[in-house]
Structures are given as C-alpha cells and as structure tokens.
C-alpha cells in the first residue's frame, strides 16, 4: 500500500499540471506499471476535451505492454461516452490486472467504473490517499454536490485586518512577491469576480480569460482597463442602449441581483470556480450567505491602528462572538515579508 501511496502522490502532481485548463472536468493523473511492478507510462488530463489521464497514459504504450499490469489513477475511471470513450473500456481492452484509485467519482453521469471493472475480474484497490485526492478536486466535488461554482475569496490585509484606510488608500498593503503569488492563484480558477466599487476605486486590469463584474447601476466606465481583455459578464439592473458596442461584454440583467442568482447564472454557463477579489461588503456577503468555500488571506506586517480603516469582511451585524463564522486553517505560506493563510469551511 505504501508503494501505491508513492505513485498516487505522483498522480496528484501530474494532475496539477493542468490546473485551470480542465474545467468542468476534474484534475486527473495516471501511472501504469507492468506485470512486474515497473513503471512504464504516465499521463494526465491536459485540457477539457482532450484524452482523460488513463487514455493519455495507455495510448503511449504498445497494445500488450500493460497486460496483467496495474493502473494507478486519482479518480475512479469514467464509465460513459463524453468527449472521449469510457476509460473503463480501454482498461479492460488492455487487460490490466489491477486498478488503484484515490477518490470516487460522485458524478452520476460518469460513475460506475469500479463496478464495471470488478465485474470482468479486475482487482480494484480503493481509497488510497483519499483525503488528499478529494482535496485536489475540491472544485469538481463542490460542483457535483452543491450544483454551483466553487468560491474562493482573496484578501490582502494588515495585521489588524484592514484592507484600506478610511479614505480608501490601499496601495500597497502587501509586497510585490505576495501580489505576484495572488496572480498565480487566479489562474487556477475559471473566472475572477469583483464589484463596481473596486473597479472605480482601483481601476485594476485583472488579466484573466473570464471576468465577472457586479455593477447594479452601471456606474463603471466601460472604457476602464479591466474591460479591455477577456470575456466579461456584468450583472446589472439595466443594460446600456449601446450594448452592441461591447462585443466582449455580456450583460446579465435582473431587477434584484443576489449572490444566489449570480451563482446560478454562472453555473449554467459552466463557470465552475470563481476567485473573488473585492471590498469588505462583497466579501462579507459571500461569508454571510455561506458561499466562502476557501479564503486566501494575505497578511502584511503592518498595523493601521485605526478603527475607521476598512475591514476585509463587512457583511454582517452580530452581538455575540458565538455568532461568528468559523473556518479551518488548512495551509500557511511565507511570502516574506508577508504571509498567506488559507482557510476552508469546516
């Protein structure tokens, strides 16, 4: 089992090579051992629409190379026709003796791979490093179980939890090193989301393939730099008359713009993960509504020492500490002179 754990960790590393490229599919890596336990191939799901990890690994081999061998993969092999044929069929065709998996596929459309393999006599070893495997595909499993995008909130604060002074000055709380790492994190997610207040206050560029702006009253100048690249969705209560002048902007209109409505619309459009960078009001709303799946909090060694400075989260009104939202610290990272704390819902 320890040997399989070692190979499974390699599957995780392979899978992570495609972060930000496989959505709405999961991240999957695969290793193939021959009948003597010698590694003969590896592969991973590189991009949505391309071969799954198992096919990527097996198709690199001669037809009989994997006979009586072992296939190690971090997610239960699929059992349906999608962009590619079922991976279970190829595993059976190549006459593997054993399949080792980490996580079960909770997608009812694609699941059933284990049963199919066992039915033809292939040994299936289940649950190797399952917790790590589930963590790797936290976005995918959230999409399936909650029928909505996975939401990550990012904030950059002083030690006393402030994101700007009372006048709105915030440049720069954290170092260039921390900001560079934040830009790297963005790339893992299908889209970034911010508010019109942030666009107006900071005029950010926020380079990304998909950007979402909440601008209920169309206060933003649509010539601002954030609108100059990427596919853009603006959630608004009114649509400008010159809508055809903005081919890269899709206006999604409703009289009342709620977080529930936004997530429902994004999920319909197969936007499966969202990286939220905004002020305390919007971040606080996501926390209050229970949609903060993950929080990235960059903390600089600075103290405003001023209670009128703006807080990172400002969406609720409580009288008891017991009413606070609780999160679990899952990772710490030093980005000298700053630190990144990563939290998840418990």
- Among 42, 54, 76, 277, the active-site one is 54
Phi, psi torsion values for 273, nearest 5 degrees: -150, 140
Region at 309 (left for phi over 0; alpha for psi -120 to 50; beta for the rest): beta
Q: Which of helix, strand or coil describes residue 55? A: helix
Is 76 part of the annotated catalytic residue set? no
Two tokens at 272? 């499966």
Rounded to an integer, what distance in angstroms lies between the CA atom of residue 290 and that of residue 245?
A: 37
Rounded to an integer, what distance in angstroms lies between the CA atom of residue 20 and that of residue 84?
A: 20
Rounded to an integer, what distance in angstroms lies between the CA atom of residue 124 and that of residue 113?
A: 10
For 229-251, give the DSSP string: SSEEEEEESS--TTGGG-TTEEE
> Residue 302 burial (CB < 10 Å; 0-12/13-18/19+)?
middle
Q: Which residues are catalytic?
A: 54
């Amino acid at each position: 089992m320890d040997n399989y754990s070692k190979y499974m960790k390699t599957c995780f590393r392979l899978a992570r090579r495609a972060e930000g490229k496989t959505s709405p599919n999961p991240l999957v890596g695969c290793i193939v051992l021959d009948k003597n336990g010698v590694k003969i191939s590896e592969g991973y799901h590189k991009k949505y629409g391309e071969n799954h990890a198992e096919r990527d690994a097996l198709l690199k081999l001669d037809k009989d190379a994997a006979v009586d061998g072992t296939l190690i993969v971090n997610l239960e092999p699929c059992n349906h026709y999608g962009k590619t044929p079922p991976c279970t069929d190829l595993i059976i065709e190549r006459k593997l003796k054993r399949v080792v998996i980490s996580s079960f596929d909770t997608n009812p459309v694609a699941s059933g791979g284990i049963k199919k393999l066992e039915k033809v006599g292939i040994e299936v070893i289940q649950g190797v490093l399952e917790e790590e495997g589930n963590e790797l595909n936290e976005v995918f499993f959230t999409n399936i179980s909650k029928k909505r995008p996975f939401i990550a909130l990012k904030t950059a604060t002083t030690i006393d939890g402030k994101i700007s002074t009372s006048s709105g000055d915030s440049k720069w709380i954290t170092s260039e090193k921390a900001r560079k790492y934040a830009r790297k994190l963005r790339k893992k997610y299908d889209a970034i989301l911010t508010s019109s207040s942030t666009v107006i206050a900071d005029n950010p560029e926020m380079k990304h393939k998909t950007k979402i702006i909440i601008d209920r009253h169309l206060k933003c100048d649509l010539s601002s730099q954030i609108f100059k690249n990427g596919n853009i969705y603006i959630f608004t209560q009114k649509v400008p008359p010159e809508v055809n002048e903005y081919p890269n902007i899709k206006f999604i209109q409703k009289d009342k713009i709620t977080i529930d409505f936004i997530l429902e619309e994004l999920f319909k459009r197969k936007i499966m993960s969202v990286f939220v960078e905004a002020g305390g009001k919007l971040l606080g709303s996501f926390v209050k509504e229970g949609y903060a799946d993950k929080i990235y909090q960059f903390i600089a060694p600075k103290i405003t020492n001023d209670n009128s400075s703006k807080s990172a989260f400002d969406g609720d009104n409580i009288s008891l500490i017991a009413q606070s939202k609780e999160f679990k610290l899952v990772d710490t990272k030093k980005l000298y002179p700053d630190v990144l704390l990563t939290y998840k819902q418990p």
